[in-house]
Amino acid sequence: MEKRNALTIFEHDILRVGDTLDARAFRSLARFHDKICDSYFDLGFDCVKFKQYVGIIRVDDLTIEVLPKIDRDGYGRGTELWRTALLEMLAASGFLRADILSNALQSVGKTPLLDIIALQFLAAEEILAREGLLRKYRREAGNVSALKGKLLFTQHVNRNLTKPDKWFTDHSVYDRNHALNGILRLALDILYAVCSSELKARLFAVRLDFLDIPPFHPDSAFMDRLSYDRRTERYREAIDIAWLIVRNLGPAIRYGDSPVFALMFDMNNLFERTVLHLLTVEARRRNDGTVVLRPESRRFWNRMYLRPDILIQRENERIIIDTKWKLPATGGPDEHDLRQVFTYGLYFSAGKVILLYPGTDTDRGLSGKFEPVPAFPNSEVRCEKRYSKLVTTTGRLDKDFAHDFFSELFPI
C-alpha cells in the first residue's frame, strides 16, 4: 500500500480481508458485485480476485488502482511502467486526448487515473459551457399564469379551485432541462464526490452552470439509442466520457448505501482498439492500397453474431486478426482460440488468420494451416500465432510496431 487510502495492484491480483482490505470495504465490494456489476472481480472467502479489467475502484475512503501486466521476463511489475502503458493505450483507444496524455505522462505516479479522466471531462465541459448549453423543447404539465397549451381540466379544477390566476396545462417549454445536459450534471456530481481536493474547485465552478438542470441517469439501452445531429454533435466527447463515469454508478452515489465508484476498462478491448488504431495509422501512411477496418458482425445462429477484431484487405487478399490480451498456457495457440479464428476465416472468406498476443522479444510465433473442410474443399485457411511487443520497457507504445507488422505481413 503506497498511501493510507490508496492501493495499487495489477489485474488478476487478489486482495484479502485483514491483509490489504478491511471487512467494511469487502462488504461494500460484495454488494457492488452482486447488485451492480460482476464483471470486474470475483468474490472468494474473505478475498477479492480481480479479472482482466483495469482502472479505478473507490470504496469508502480507499482508492484501488488496477494496472495491466504481462508476466514475462523483460517487463517486470513496476507500477510507473504499467501506469504509463495504460495511459498510452487509453489515448490510442480514443479515451484520452493527446494534450491530456502529454500532461499526464509528465506527472506519472503523481496524478491519479481518476483525476486524469476528470481533467479530460472538464476540458470538454468547459468548451460546452463557453459555447452555451443546448436548449430543447419538452412537454411539461403544471400551473402557469397565462393560458397556453392544452388545458387539463380535471387537474385544473382540483388544484386551482381557489386560484383564479392559475391554469393547469400541458404545454411546451424551451429550456436546458434535457437528457444530454442531465447526463453531464450527473457525471459532475459523481466526480465532485470522488475526485481529489485539487480538482474540486474547478468542478464546482463548472457545476454552477448546471444548477437548474436535474441529473439524468441513462441505462445501456438509452445510450444505444442515442444519436447526434448537427446541433448535438459537439456533445459527443463529453457524453462519451460521462457514460464511462456513470455507467457503473453504485448504490453509494444513488442511494447513500455502499460507497463504491468504479471506472474500469476491459484490457481485451483496450488491446484490440490500440492495435486497430496503430495499424490504421500505418496503413494510411503507407498508401499502398492496404485497408484496415473493424468488420461488421455477421449472424450465424438466431440472434448470435460473429465479428472478428480486425480485418486487413489488400488487393484480393483478406487477413483476419484476433487480438488476445493473455498469454497461451502452452507453446501453441489455445484450442478454443484456434476454433474461433478458423470460423472467422470461413465466414469472412479470409485466406489467413492471425492470433495476436502480447509478448516480448524472446517470444516466438508459430504458423500452420488448417485442415480443409470436406464440404468446402477449396477453403484453405492459414493461421499464425504472433506476439506483439506493443509496450516497451519504459511503458510507451512501440512506434515501430505497426511498421514491423506490415513489413512481415507483406514482405517486399
Of 199, 67, 65, 54, nearest to 121 by C-alpha is: 199
Q: Is the pLDDT of residue 370 over 90?
A: no
Does residue 391 form part of some domain? Answer: yes
Please give the share of the chain, as a percent, with pLDDT higher than 70: 92
Does residue 12 form part of some domain? Answer: no
Return the pLDDT at 276.
Answer: 96
Q: Of 151, 175, 199, which residue sits at a domain end?
A: 175
Q: Is the pLDDT of residue 357 over 80?
A: yes
User: Are 397 and 272 in a shared domain?
Assistant: yes
Cα separation, 245 vs 257, in Å, equals: 19
Return the pLDDT at 257.
Answer: 47
Return the pLDDT at 405.
Answer: 92
Q: Of 124, 155, 175, which residue sits at a domain end?
A: 175
Please give the share of the chain, as a percent, with pLDDT higher than 90: 43
Residue 84 CB neighbours (<10 A): 23
Tell me the pLDDT tens digit for each residue of 137-161.
888 888 888 888 888 878 888 888 8
Does residue 115 form part of some domain? Answer: no
Place of cell 506490415: 406
Does residue 373 form part of some domain? Answer: yes
Q: pLDDT averaged over the chain? A: 86
What is the separation of C-alpha 67 from the centre of its chain, rounded to a whole number of angstroms? 15
Contact status, residue 312 vs residue 292, Cβ threshold 8 Å = yes
* Count of domains for the chain: 2
Cα separation, 263 vs 320, in Å, equals: 31
Q: Is the pLDDT of residue 374 over 80?
A: no
**β-bridge mates for residue 386, sequence order:** 356
3-state secondary structure of 49: strand
User: Are 163 and 272 in a shared domain?
Assistant: no
User: Are 405 and 272 in a shared domain?
Assistant: yes
H helix runs in 176-330, sequence order: 179-194, 197-207, 220-225, 236-246, 251-255, 267-286
> Dmax of the chain from CA atoms?
89
The contacts of residue 303 (CB under 8 Å, 6+ apart) are none
Of 364 and 48, which is predicted with more confidence?
48
Which pLDDT band holds residue 204 (cuts at 50, 70, 90)? very high
Cα separation, 313 vs 298, in Å, equals: 18
What is the separation of C-alpha 404 from the centre of its chain, rounded to a whole number of angstroms? 28
Q: Is the pLDDT of residue 188 over 60?
A: yes
Cα separation, 365 vs 351, in Å, equals: 18
- How many Cα atoms occupy the beta-carbon half-sphere of 51 within 13 Å? 14
Contact status, residue 393 vs residue 360, Cβ threshold 8 Å = no
User: Are 282 and 393 in a shared domain?
Assistant: yes
Q: pTM for the whole thing?
A: 0.84
Q: Where is average pLDDT lowest: 73-82, 127-136, 192-201?
A: 73-82
Does residue 250 form part of some domain? Answer: no
Does residue 157 form part of some domain? Answer: yes
Q: Which amino acid is at 121?
A: F
Does residue 171 form part of some domain? Answer: yes
Return the pLDDT at 361.
Answer: 63
Q: Where is average pLDDT lowest: 16-25, 274-283, 335-344?
A: 16-25
What is the separation of C-alpha 182 from the centre of its chain, rounded to a whole number of angstroms? 20
Tell me the pLDDT tens digit for each residue of 41-70.
999 999 999 999 999 998 878 889 999 987
Return the pLDDT at 311.
Answer: 96
Residue 271 CB neighbours (<10 A): 24
Domain that holds residue 170: 136-175
Mean pLDDT confidence for 297-312 = 92
Return the pLDDT at 181.
Answer: 94
Return the pLDDT at 4.
Answer: 45
User: Are 273 and 379 in a shared domain?
Assistant: yes
Mean pLDDT confidence for 181-196 = 91
User: Are 277 and 398 in a shared domain?
Assistant: yes
Tell me the pLDDT tens digit for each residue of 90-132.
999 988 888 888 877 776 666 788 888 899 999 999 999 899 9
Q: Is the pLDDT of residue 224 over 80?
A: yes
Cα separation, 213 vs 173, in Å, equals: 14
Return the pLDDT at 76.
Answer: 53
CATH of the domain at 353: 3.40.1350
Q: Do β-strands 136-144 and 53-59 pair in parallel, antiparallel, or remain unpaired? A: unpaired
Of 285 and 248, which is predicted with more confidence?
285
Return the pLDDT at 68.
Answer: 92
Mean pLDDT confidence for 171-193 = 90
Q: Do β-strands 62-67 and 136-144 pair in parallel, antiparallel, or remain unpaired? A: unpaired
